[in-house]
C-alpha cells in the first residue's frame, strides 16, 4: 500500500466518522426537543388540572353528582384546556410530536372529552376554534358527536395539503 492510498483511506474514515457524529448529534437533539415539549405541555396541563373541577380528571361521571354550573371561570379554564389540546394536535400533525409521545396524550384527551362537563363546555366554546376546522373535526370525533361542516370548502387531509405546497 502506498502512502497516497493510506492518506485516502484516512480521509474517507474521517469523513465517515464525522458523518456518524453529525447523525448521532441530530438524533440526540431531536430526542431532547421531544423531552422538552413533553415537559412543557405536561406543565401546562398540570396548571389547568388544578383549576378544573375534580370530576373532569378523576372520571367520576355519575348521575348523582351534578355538573358544576356554567360560569365565566369554568369557560376560561376549559378554553385554556382546549387551546393546549389544539397546540398538541397541531404539533403532532406537523410531525413535531412523535407517535409514541402522542398516543398517551390522545388517550387522556379522549377520556377527558367523554365526560359530560367537557362535552357541555366543548359545545359552548367550539366556535372559538372555527379557524381550525381540522381540530374541530378531531375533537368532535373524540366526543362522539356528529361532525358539522365549518365551511363550504372541502377540507383536505394535512398530508395532502403539505404535498400540494411543495
Residue 153 above 50 pLDDT?
Answer: no
Identify the CA nearest to 31 among candidates 23, 19, 20: 23
Residues 135-161: what's their mean pLDDT?
61
Q: Rounded distance, CA 21 to CA 17, Å?
A: 6
Residues 6+ apart with CB under 8 A from 90: 132, 135
Give pTM, 2 decimals: 0.69
The reported pLDDT for the residue numbered 76 is 92
pLDDT digits (tens, 9 = 90+) for 12-38: 999 999 999 999 998 888 888 878 888
Helices 133-143 and 116-125 meet at what angle, rounded to 10?
150
At residue 137 the predicted structure's pLDDT band, cuts being 50, 70 and 90, is very high
- What φ, ψ does residue 115 adopt, rounded to 5°? -75, 150
What's the chain's average pLDDT? 81
Query: Per-residue pLDDT for 62 more than 90?
Result: no
Q: Which residues contact 53 (CB under 8 A, 6 or more apart)?
A: 68, 74, 117
Amino acid at each position: 500500500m502506498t502512502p497516497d492510498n493510506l492518506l485516502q483511506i484516512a480521509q474517507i474514515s474521517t469523513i465517515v466518522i464525522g458523518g456518524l457524529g453529525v447523525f448521532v448529534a441530530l438524533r440526540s437533539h431531536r430526542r431532547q426537543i421531544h423531552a422538552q415539549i413533553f415537559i412543557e405541555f405536561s406543565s401546562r396541563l398540570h396548571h389547568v388540572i388544578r383549576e378544573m373541577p375534580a370530576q373532569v380528571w378523576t372520571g367520576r361521571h355519575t348521575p348523582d353528582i351534578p355538573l358544576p354550573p356554567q360560569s365565566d371561570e369554568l369557560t376560561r379554564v376549559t378554553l385554556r384546556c382546549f387551546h393546549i389540546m389544539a397546540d398538541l394536535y397541531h404539533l403532532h400533525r406537523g410531525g413535531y410530536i412523535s407517535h409514541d409521545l402522542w398516543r398517551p396524550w390522545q388517550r387522556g384527551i379522549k377520556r377527558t372529552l367523554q365526560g359530560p362537563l367537557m362535552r357541555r363546555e366543548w359545545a359552548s366554546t367550539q366556535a372559538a376554534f372555527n379557524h381550525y376546522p381540522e381540530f374541530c373535526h378531531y375533537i368532535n370525533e373524540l366526543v362522539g358527536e356528529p361532525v358539522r361542516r365549518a365551511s363550504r370548502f372541502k377540507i383536505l387531509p394535512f398530508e395532502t395539503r403539505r404535498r400540494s405546497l411543495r
